[in-house]
A and B are shown apart, each in its own frame.
Chain A
Amino acid sequence: MKIKKNSYISLLLVASLFFVVVVHPVSASEDSHRTWLKPISDLPLLKDLQSNAWHQPDLISNTYFVVLILVVLFSLTTRNLKRLPDSKRQTFLELFTGGIIDFFGDILGDHGKKYVWFPGSFFIFILFLNYLGLIPGLQSPTADLNTTLALGITALIGVHVIAIKENGVGGYLKHFIGDPWWLGPLMFPLHIVGELARAGSLAIRLFGNIFGEETVIFQLTVLAPVLGLAVFGIGFPFQIPMLFFGLFGGFLQAFVFSLLTSIYIVTFLEHGDDHGAEAHH
């Protein structure tokens, strides 16, 4: 199976497009933190899009910094790939990509294996977004509700587009009506609200976890001068254990987001598997 790189670059572009459209501040507060990318954020185009009233004023610069890192990293490491790998980086990349394909392909089943890079690219993107906050002087873009809402809405739209592609518009609507057709008018709005709640829960789960971790790290960092310098005369970086927990938590949240997306795809694909089995015989 050909590994397509373009699918995840297009996902990044779509997510960032949604981002710019939804750019009204969802929560504005006085205590905003600037990052090292402040000189880039002061460029005329970005200065109008961002606002100092946000909790994270450098949001768009941070997100595009992650996009830049991903593009540079993956384009530099996938040069001169050989059929029988003899370099360490190719083996490591194959391990990483093969692991994602195996894991998500397992969940999606035979019929859905071609969609494995939709949750896979969410995983890679959200992993790097979450880990950006652990670098001192930078913040995670996912610590802002705008980014996570954009990702959740993109996941929702992607799942529904895949559902329509697989089942056709008729089968897709029939899934909303449910099994006894006479309960249709009751189940239809229920299913619609359920789908919106899925997107919302994906967004809020990711936002809450990463924003909470970042807040704890920030408060512990603030604790060093207050507790360390005043009491002991030396400031100790109290936030180091939380950074390790941030590694685990960021990975877990990216994993859960992409896992839930793939499970939502499977709930729409279950009708397709029966046709697939019949067609083989």
Chain B
Amino acid sequence: MIYLAVLAFGVTLGLPIAVIFASTAQGKATSTALEGIARQPEATGQIQTAMIIGLALIESLVIYSLLMFFLLMGKLPATVSEVEMLIKAEATVQTHDTQ
């Protein structure tokens, strides 16, 4: 049961932590790009292209984390009856071990 609890924590905490750092990085990239556009409006096209590429690369790291989320979510029990069955199975294993 501790396994299920820790798994639930892993599933819920993994993606938001990745999102926090990725959004900070993307905010920095966008703000620097905006400063560049403000300084030299004629270079807007190139700066925009480079900014979009940078944002897509940062976002892809969050997508890897999303993939992990989908993989782990498949291992969580879906209904309450499944959880009860797993707890009962673990209880019988423990009684067998102590005997």
Contact mask A222-258 → B, CB, 8 Å, 1/0?
0000000000000000000000000000001101100
Whether A209 is near chain B, meaning CB under 8 Å from some CB there, is yes
Provide the bound-state CA to CA distance between A212 and B74, in Å: 15
Provide the bound-state CA to CA distance between A208 and B64, in Å: 7
Contacts of A162 in B (CB 8 A): none
Contact mask A181-201 → B, CB, 8 Å, 1/0?
000000000000000000001
Contacts of A75 in B (CB 8 A): none
Contact mask B40-54 → A, CB, 8 Å, 1/0?
000000000000110
Chain A: interface size category? 10 to 19
Contacts of A256 in B (CB 8 A): 53, 56-57, 60
Are B53's CB and A204's CB within 8 A?
Answer: no
Are A204's CB and B74's CB within 8 A?
Answer: no
Whether B66 is near chain A, meaning CB under 8 Å from some CB there, is yes
Q: In the complex, which residue of chain B has the Cβ closest to the Cβ of A252?
A: B56
Provide the bound-state CA to CA distance between A253 and B66, in Å: 16
Are B74's CB and A205's CB within 8 A?
Answer: no
Q: Given A29-B74, A252-B52 in contact, is the A212-B66 Cβ separation under 8 Å?
A: yes
> DSSP class of A's interface residues: helix, strand, loop or mixed?
helix
Q: Given A29-B74, A252-B52 in contact, is the A204-B63 Cβ separation under 8 Å?
A: yes
Are A208's CB and B67's CB within 8 A?
Answer: yes
Could you say which of B53, B60, B74 has the most chain A C-beta atoms within 10 Å of its C-beta? B60
Whether A259 is near chain B, meaning CB under 8 Å from some CB there, is yes
Candidates A29, A209, A255, A259; contact of B63 at CB < 8 Å: A209
Are A205's CB and B63's CB within 8 A?
Answer: yes
Instruction: Tell me the chain B residues, 36-91 only, with Cβ under 8 Å from chain A.
Output: 52-53, 56-57, 59-60, 63-64, 66-67, 74
Q: In the complex, which residue of chain A has the Cβ closest to the Cβ of B60?
A: A205
Provide the bound-state CA to CA distance between A272 and B53, in Å: 26
Candidates A29, A204, A259; contact of B67 at CB < 8 Å: A204
Min CB gap B49→A, angstroms: 9
Contacts of B60 in A (CB 8 A): 201, 204-205, 208-209, 256
Are B66's CB and A208's CB within 8 A?
Answer: yes
Q: In the complex, which residue of chain B has the Cβ closest to the Cβ of A257?
A: B56
Provide the bound-state CA to CA distance between A205 and B61, in Å: 8
Provide the bound-state CA to CA distance between A85 and B9, in Å: 62
Min CB gap A68→B, angstroms: 29
Q: Given A29-B74, A256-B57 in contact, is the A204-B64 Cβ separation under 8 Å?
A: yes
Provide the bound-state CA to CA distance between A205 and B67, in Å: 10
Query: B residues within 8 Å of A by Cβ?
Result: 52-53, 56-57, 59-60, 63-64, 66-67, 74
Q: Please, could you name 13 A-B residue pairs with CB atoms under 8 Å apart, sorted by A?
A: A29-B74, A204-B64, A204-B67, A205-B60, A205-B64, A208-B64, A209-B60, A212-B66, A252-B52, A253-B56, A256-B53, A256-B57, A256-B60
Known: A212-B63, A252-B56. 5 other contacts (CB 8 A): A204-B63, A205-B60, A207-B67, A208-B60, A256-B56
